[in-house]
Amino acid sequence: MTWLVPLPVTIPLLGAALTLMLAGRPRAQRTISLTALTATLLVSAALLALTTTGGPLVVAVGGWAAPLGIVLVADELAALMLVVSAAVTVCVLIYSIGQGMADGHEETPLSVYHPTYLVLTAGVTNAFLAGDLFNLFVGFEILLVASYVLLTLGGTENRIRAGATYVVVSLLSSVIFLTAIGLIYAATGTLNMAQLAGRLDTLPDHLKLVLQGMLLLAFGIKAAVFPLSSWLPDSYPTAPAPVTAVFAGLLTKVGVYAIIRTETLLFPGGRATVVLLVAALLTMLVGILGAVAQSDIKRLLSFTLVSHIGYLLFGVGLTSRLGMSSAIFYVVHHITVQTTLFLAAGLIEKRGGSTALDRLGGLARLNPVLAIAFLIPALNLAGIPPFSGFIGKLGLIEAGVADGGPLAWLLVVGSVLTSLLTLYAIARVWNLAFWRAPHPSMPAPDAGRCPPMMVVPTLALVTLGVALTVVAGPLFEVGDQAAGDLRDRAGYAQAVLGEETP
Amino acid sequence: MTPNLVYVVVIGVLFAAGVSMLLERSLTRVLMGMILLGNGVNLLILLGSRAGAPPIVGGAPQAEMADPLPQIMILTAIVITLGMTAFLLALAYRSWAMSGHDEVQDDMEDRRIMLLAERDEGSGTDDTEEQS
C-alpha cells in the first residue's frame, strides 16, 4: 500500500493546477479544491490506519533507492499530523467559501485563493512526509511561498506592511536552514535523514552542537519560539480570517514537527535540551503576558498561539517517552483548538464589525451559537477539566514531575501559571465582547448575519475539539506508540534504508 | 574541496554585507541583503563539496569526479531565491505605490498598546516593541 504515501502531496498540487486553469470559474474551482482536500483527508486517514498496524511506509520517489534518491516516509507521527492538518484544511476551506460568498467579491483576488491554498496544503504535507533534509527544506519553501501570497491577498496597505515583516523573517529563517543543510552535507556527505542519524553520531560533540543549534534556530523562527516569535502577532492578524486560522493551526506546527524530528532522529539528547526547556518556559510566560495586554481578539489569540508553542517544546525538551507522547497529543489538540478560535474570531468580526474589544459587546445575547463556538474552544485552550487541553497539560505536567529536575519543576509551575493566565485572557474577551451592552457601532442584525457555510465548519471543529476528549485514550496510545517509534532510530533507518543499515 | 582562503573570505564578506543590509529600513536594501545572503549560502554549499572532473559517466574515473549533489542543491536554491526576489520586488513596489515609500513601518497596534502601558491604562505591560 505504499502508493498511498505520495498522494497527500500530489493530490493538492494537481488540484492547484486544475483550479489555476479554471481561474475565471469560481464554482468549478470550489468543487475541485473541496474534492482534492477531502481526498487528501481520506488518504491521510488510510495512512494513519496502515502505519499504526504495519509500521512506517516508505516510498523512494521515481524508483531511486534510498540514499541516492529522495524518500517520502509516513510513520505514525507523520500520518497523525497529516490527518489533523487535512481535517483542519477542509473545514477552513468550507468556511472561506462561505465567507467569499457572503462578502460577495468573487472576482480577481479570490481566483488565486484556491490554487494558493492547495499549494500551501501540499507544502505542509510534503514537510510532514519528507525523509530527506533537503526535501524538508523544499516543503518549507512551498508552504512559505504560498503563505506569502495568502497573507498579502488583496494587497491593502496594512497587509503589505505586515507581509513585508513576515516575508523577510521567513526568508532569513530559510537562509539559516539552507546554511545548516550545506554544513551538514559538508560534514557527513548525505542528507537522507535515516543515514544522517547514523553518521551524525560519529561527529565531534562541538560540531554536532553547532549543526543542531543552526537547525533549531531555523525551525525556532518558523515555530515562533520566544526570542524569535515577535513576527507572528504582528503579521497574522491582518490576513483574512480563514487564512489566519489555517496559518495559526498549521504553519507553526510544521516548525514544531521539524524540531521534534531534529531532536529525536538527528540529535537525540545532548546539551540543547536545556536550551529548549528554557525557551519553552520563556515562550509560555512572555507569550501569555503579551496576550493579556492586547485589546484586539485576533492579536490576543496570536499571542496565546505563541504561548502554547511553549507547552509543545516542554514535552519535546523533556526527551522522555511520556513527555514526547503528551507533546504529540498536545499538537493535535492545539492545531484543532487554535484554528477553531481564529474561525470564531472571524465570525465575531462578521457579526460585530470589528475584533477590537472596546468596540464589541453583548454578543452572547445577539448570537448564542457564536458564543458557544467561542467559549468551548477557549475553555479548551485554557485547559478546563473535561476538555482535551486539560488532558494534554496533565500529561505534560506528569512528565515534568516524573523528570524531577529543577528545570522540569520550574516548567511545571510555569505551565500551570500560563494555563491560569490563558483563562484570564479569554475571560477578558468573554466579559468585554460577549457580555456588556452591545456597542453602538456594531452592525444591525441583518448586516451582521453569519452565513451557515461559515458557522457549520466552525461548529464542526468545535465538535472535533470536544471529541478529542472522548478519544483521548486511543489517541494517547497512538501518540505513545509514535513517541516510541521516534526514540527507536534504528527502526527508522531500517525502514528507510532496507536491510543494509549503517 | 579543501577550503581555500579566498572562498572563505568571500563568503564571510557576503554574509556580513547581507546581514547589515537586512537591518535597513528600506525594503529595496533588505532585498539586496537577501540576495547577498543567498549568494553567500550558495558559495558555502559549494565549498563543502568535492571539486573535480564533470560528473558524467565515462568522462573520468569515479574518484576524480566532482560531487554533483551540492551543485543541484545550489541550482534549486538559486531558483527559489529568484522567485523570492521577484516577490519581494513586487512587495516593495506595491508598498511604494500605496504609501509613496518602501520603508518597513512599525506596527500601529504595538505602538498603541505601548502608549496605553506607559499611561498605565492597559491591563498589562508586556514588551512587543522589538519588531522591525
Mean pLDDT, chain A, integer: 87
In-domain check, residue B16: yes
- CA pair distance A339, A308, nearest whole angstrom: 13
Do the chains contact at A161 and B38, CB–CB below 8 Å? no
pLDDT at A331 over 70: yes
Nearest CA in chain A to B47: A186
Which CATH number is B45's domain given? 1.10.287.3510
Backbone angles phi, psi at A225, to 5 degrees: -85, 145
pLDDT at B127 over 50: no
Question: What's the pLDDT at A294?
Answer: 85
CB atoms within 10 A of CB A416: 13
Task: Tell me the C-alpha to C-alpha distance, in Å, between residue A485 and each of A6, A52, A213, B42, B95.
Answer: 21, 11, 24, 35, 48
Question: What's the pLDDT at A233?
Answer: 87
Domain boundaries, chain A: 272-446
In-domain check, residue B80: yes
Question: What's the pLDDT at B123?
Answer: 46
Three-point CA angle A412, A277, A180, nearest 5°: 160
Do the chains contact at A175 and B34, CB–CB below 8 Å? yes
- The nearest CA of chain A is from the CA of B87 a distance in Å of 9
Check if the beta carbon of residue A184 is closer than 8 Å to that of residue A211: yes
Which of A137, A142, A168, A421 has the most B C-beta neighbours within 10 Å, making it the best mutation to test the interface with B? Answer: A168
Do the chains contact at A182 and B45, CB–CB below 8 Å? yes
Report chain A residues whose CB lies below 8 A from the CB of B76.
Answer: 134, 138
In-domain check, residue B30: yes
> Which of B91, B99, B131 is facing A230, going by the closest CB pair?
B131
* B43 conformational bin, left if phi > 0, alpha if psi -120 to 50, beta if neither: alpha
Residue written as cell 521577484?
Answer: B86
In-domain check, residue B127: no
Residue contacts between A and B (CB atoms, under 8 Å) = 112
Position A400 confidence tier, pLDDT thresholds 50, 70, 90: very high
Three-point CA angle A259, A264, A270, nearest 5°: 95
In-domain check, residue B101: yes
Give chain B's domain count: 1
Do the chains contact at B76 and A178, CB–CB below 8 Å? no
> Which of B41, B99, B131 is facing A182, going by the closest CB pair?
B41
Written in H, E and C, the secondary structure of A95-144 is: HHHHHHHHHCCCCHHHHHHHHHHHHHHHHHHHHHHECEHHHHHHHHHHHH
Position A17 confidence tier, pLDDT thresholds 50, 70, 90: very high
Condensed to tens digits (0 to 9), the pLDDT of residues A443-461 reads 777 777 778 888 898 999 9
In-domain check, residue B50: yes
Nearest CA in chain B to A358: B122
Do the chains contact at A295 and B113, CB–CB below 8 Å? yes
* A91 conformational bin, left if phi > 0, alpha if psi -120 to 50, beta if neither: alpha
For the residues A365-376, what does the mean pLDDT come to? 88
- CA pair distance A29, A19, nearest whole angstrom: 5
For the residues A217-232, what does the mean pLDDT come to? 90
User: What is the sign of the dihedral through the CA atoms of A256, A262, A268 and A274?
Assistant: negative
Backbone angles phi, psi at A59, to 5 degrees: -125, 125
Q: Structure pTM?
A: 0.90
Do the chains contact at B27 and A164, CB–CB below 8 Å? yes
Nearest CA in chain B to A189: B49
Question: What's the pLDDT at A222?
Answer: 92
Host domain of residue B24: 5-55+63-118
In-domain check, residue B35: yes
Question: What's the pLDDT at B2?
Answer: 67
Provide the grid cell at A435: 457580555
For the residues A337-365, what does the mean pLDDT come to? 86
Do the chains contact at A234 and B44, CB–CB below 8 Å? no
Provide the grid cell at A24: 475565471
Give me the residues paired with residue A74 across strands.
A57
Provide the grid cell at A390: 486539560
Position A107 confidence tier, pLDDT thresholds 50, 70, 90: very low
